[in-house]
Amino acid sequence: MKKIAVLTSGGDAPGMNAAVRAVAKVALAKGMEVYGVRRGYLGMVHDEIFQMNGSHVSGIIDRGGTVLLTARCLEFKDPKFRAIAAENLKKRGIEGIVVVGGDGSYRGADLLSKEHGFKVVGLPGTIDNDIIGTDYTIGFDTCLNTILDAMSKLRDTATSHERTILMEVMGRHAGDLALHATLAGGGDGVLIPEIEEPIEMLAYQIKERRRQGKLHDIVLVAEGVGSVFEIEKQLKEKVTTEVRSVVLAHVQRGGTPSGFDRVLATKMGAKAVELLEAGEGGVMVGIESNELVTHPISFAWEGKRKYDIRKDYELALTLCK
């Protein structure tokens, strides 16, 4: 295969640039032509496709966000628009596509592959860590560290005022960010969508901590659980401590990618090119037990998650006491 394209799609994540850089540099080193697609599938439909050289990816490894830009493109669910995108790629002789994004982006790539014969490789790019077939996604570690930094700052003020702070973090339907932040940041309570716990349990925990002489609580609330303000309202009826809510929001998406995310993205980017060079497609790349692995791309929505979140949740509860 001589010509490939790379795009970032769905929500941005720190480390996407490192992945794009690796795809471009490895492909160029192998004598391939590499094309960048701007604004995800939107740019593919609107022909925002350009040939890349080394200068397009120089100085980007430490930058958050994505230099290729990303967008949501609902039209891509319509085969008519996918046919236009396919034509834009084919007129340049592009045969292989690397898409860095989440499972929605993988679905788009899978359809493009089945309908128009492209070889596609999906790389997991999302802060949420919610992709089946990989232990970690590109961006998760950086985001986790951003949350930890905010937690430390909130703890200073929470202790000084003896408050309970509910901190809402991202993660879509996954509790990984909230749970890992609890484990790594010494959180005092955690609510995740995978495990339903009555609010009474959290209230009891808070009261028990005060009885032990603890002055503050930082409780991580995964966005998938529901509105943190609603939880605040319910909790206030059950505890006497002052409760405040903080929504960390889009701060979590930004920042220079961590070393872990850069290495992960770089290795995955290189692997994607190797797969395409060998004529393989229809796969996603993951990391499992510290090894790069591949799964059929549909594994992201048909497979079963390996991660036993309940075990880590129970550990977190033990440590929250």
Which residues participate in catalysis according to the annotation?
Answer: 128
Closer to ligand ADP by Cβ: residue 100 or 231: 100
Q: Which two tokens stand for residue 272?
A: 């994607």
Q: Which helix (H) or strand (E) holds 179?
A: helix 176-185
- 189 is a site residue for ligand ADP (CB under 6 A): no
Q: How far is the CB of 78 from ligand ADP (least distance, A)?
A: 8
Judged by CB under 6 A, the stretch of 73-81, 113-121, 197-205, 246-254 that binds ligand ADP is 73-81
CA distance 284 to 124: 8
Residue nearest to ligand ADP (CB): 104
HEC per residue, 158-176: HHHHCEEEEEEECCCCCCH
Judged by CB under 6 A, the stretch of 54-62, 72-80, 194-202, 311-319 that binds ligand ADP is 72-80
CA distance 154 to 160: 10
Judged by CB under 6 A, the stretch of 53-61, 68-76, 186-194, 257-265 that binds ligand ADP is 68-76
- 72 is a site residue for ligand ADP (CB under 6 A): yes
Closer to ligand ADP by Cβ: residue 41 or 136: 41
The mark string for 27-46 relative to ligand ADP (x by CB under 6 A, - otherwise) is: --------------x-----
24 annotated ligand binder: yes
Question: Could you tell me how many residues of this chain bind ligand ADP (CB under 6 A)?
Answer: 17
CA distance 250 to 35: 29
DSSP 76: G
Q: Which amino acid is at 174?
A: A
Smallest Cα–Cα separation from 216: which of 167, 253, 162?
162
Which residues are bridge partners to 50 per DSSP? 36
Closer to ligand ADP by Cβ: residue 73 or 170: 73
C-beta of residue 158 within 8 angstroms of C-beta of residue 218 = yes
Interface residue list for ligand ADP (CB under 6 A): 9-11, 41, 72-73, 76-77, 101-105, 107-108, 111, 126
**Which residue ranges make up the annotated binding site for Mg(2+)?**
103
